[in-house]
Amino acid sequence: MKVLVLYDYPPSPGGLATQGDLLFKGLKHLGVDVHACHFESAQEKEWYYRWLEPDVVVGIGYWGHTPHLVLHPQRSGRLPVPWLVADGYIANYHEVLNALPLILVTSQWVKEIYIRDGIDGENIEVLPVGCDTDGFIPRDRSDVKVASVREALGVAADQIMILTVGGDATSKGAQEVMQALAINDTKAPDWKYICKVWPQPRTMQQNMIDLQLAAQLGIEQNVVYTTNVISRNFMPYLLAACDIYAAPSRLEGFGMIQIEANACGKPVIGIRAMGLLDTMIHGETGFLAGVGQEIHVGEAMVGRESGYQDGHRIVFDPPRTVDYRASVHDIANYLMDLMTDPSLRARLGKAGRKRVVEHFDYRVVAKKFVEIIHRKLGID
């Protein structure tokens, strides 16, 4: 089998780039003739089409990337297999996607979203995102690299460090976590809440809103927002530095960092919805807070990024659920359980590590990819 993998290559630290790069590495580990190319690089893609003559062209992205991931290889007579995430609504390219013999998605919830929005589910297969379980491993807090992370963040040795990581923190449920921490504050052990976010204009504005909430809740002295560009090399040590990884996300098609936290032996607090239903086991690898609220919209404006003219209006009948809010009281209860019981943290972290190694290791995912391609397309 000859495979061309299209993603943000060379990989940036983002989720989609990591997803593609780990598939590339996993296939290479299996001995597959695999090559990687940037999904928007038309000239380089055509170069690979001509000399490699790939059996499949796997493109990592979301439905809005269909021109790059599907239409471009089709124009050169190549077979595209997009591996897609969802952003809450599939607005366009239904005819193109429905004509494909195979679409990969990252979770059962993403598959349900595509089916809900008009994509035929017959040829949609779930392929989870891989994890580098050689790099994301349990590390002792006394490890100098781990201790240095905590020191740089101002976390004392006897404090419980709760961590959330994302492009912004709000979408990962940070506001709900802060409300939960405020409920527990006076009865909980000494703690520090760290939110690691990506520097971008949208994030800067959202950070200010979040920090204002922390001040209103009276916990601003214990909340730290750090806004930096970091590499994938740093992430295992950042996760190893925390005691609890908390990300009851408002929209989550898989939960890559939750999986990486589990791989580092950390318990996770998530939400009982969306992709985390595939990746977390409530009470075993972490805790999944119930859904406290669903956010619905009746219409949306889309543009060129979705294959429409700017200002195109779409009306939803009935209104669509676009994101979720986790139950603050559930989060508070699970946080208190984990903050006060080191043995519980260790037990959930150990079980989480075991599950990730067995089901989400990037080599396991690559093997599953090969099996799907053989079963659905008959390609060896």
Q: What is the DSSP string of 264-328?
A: TT--EEEESSTTHHHH--BTTTEEEEPEEEEEEEEEEEE-GGGTS-TTEEEEEEEEEEEEEEE-H
Residue 336 covered by a domain: yes
Residue 123 covered by a domain: yes
Provide the b/e sequence for 172-198 (b: ≥16 CB within 10 Å).
bbbbbbbbbbbbbeeebeebbbbbbbb
Is a pLDDT exceeding 90 seen at residue 244?
A: yes
Is a pLDDT exceeding 80 seen at residue 304?
A: no
Q: Which two structure tokens, joined as six digits, stand for 42?
A: 């038309």
Q: Do 245 and 367 fall into the same domain?
A: no
Q: Do 255 and 231 fall into the same domain?
A: yes
Q: Do 40 and 154 fall into the same domain?
A: no
Q: What is the pLDDT of residue 307?
A: 78
Give the CATH number, domain containing residue 183: 3.40.50.2000
Q: Do 112 and 149 fall into the same domain?
A: no
Helix axes 362-377, 15-29, angle to 10 degrees: 80
DSSP string, 215-254: HHHT-GGGEEEEE----TTTHHHHHHH-SEEE---SS-SS
Q: What is the pLDDT of residue 319?
A: 84
Q: Do 105 and 149 fall into the same domain?
A: no
Average pLDDT over residues 211-222: 96
Q: Do 106 and 190 fall into the same domain?
A: no
Q: Which sign does the torsion angle of CA 212, 215, 219, 222 carry?
A: positive
Residue 321 covered by a domain: no
CA distance 355 to 367: 17
Q: What percent of the chain is helix, strand and coil (3-state, nearest 5)?
A: 45, 25, 30
Strands of 244-246's sheet, edge to edge?
Answer: 223-227, 191-197, 160-166, 244-246, 268-271, 286-289
Residue 200 covered by a domain: yes
**Containing structural domain, residue 22:** 2-130+361-377
Q: Which sign does the torsion angle of CA 88, 89, 90, 91 carry?
A: negative
pTM: 0.94
Q: Do 75 and 195 fall into the same domain?
A: no
**Nearest Cα residue to 170 out of 337, 323, 14, 339:** 323
Q: Do 155 and 169 fall into the same domain?
A: yes
How many domains would you assign to the chain?
Answer: 2
C-beta of residue 356 within 8 angstroms of C-beta of residue 262:
yes
**Nearest Cα residue to 104 out of 87, 123, 130, 83:** 83
Q: CA gyration radius for the chain?
A: 21
Residue 56 covered by a domain: yes
**How many alpha carbons lie under 13 Å from residue 215 in its C-beta half-sphere?**
7
Residue 139 covered by a domain: no
With a CB cutoff of 8 Å and minimum separation 6, the contacts of 98 are: 118, 119, 120
Q: Do 12 and 44 fall into the same domain?
A: yes
Q: Do 198 and 244 fall into the same domain?
A: yes
Residue 297 covered by a domain: no
CA distance 213 to 359: 38
CA distance 146 to 140: 8
C-beta of residue 111 within 8 angstroms of C-beta of residue 277:
no
Q: What is the pLDDT of residue 302?
A: 77
Residue 302 covered by a domain: no
Return the higher-pLDDT residue of 331 and 117: 331
Is a pLDDT exceeding 90 seen at residue 217?
A: yes
Q: Do 227 and 244 fall into the same domain?
A: yes
Q: Which two structure tokens, joined as six digits, stand for 142?
A: 């006394």
| DSSP state letter for 358 | H
Q: Do 86 and 207 fall into the same domain?
A: no
Is a pLDDT exceeding 90 seen at residue 3?
A: yes
pLDDT band at 57 (very low <50, low <70, confident <90, very high): very high
As a whole number, the mean pLDDT across the chain is 95
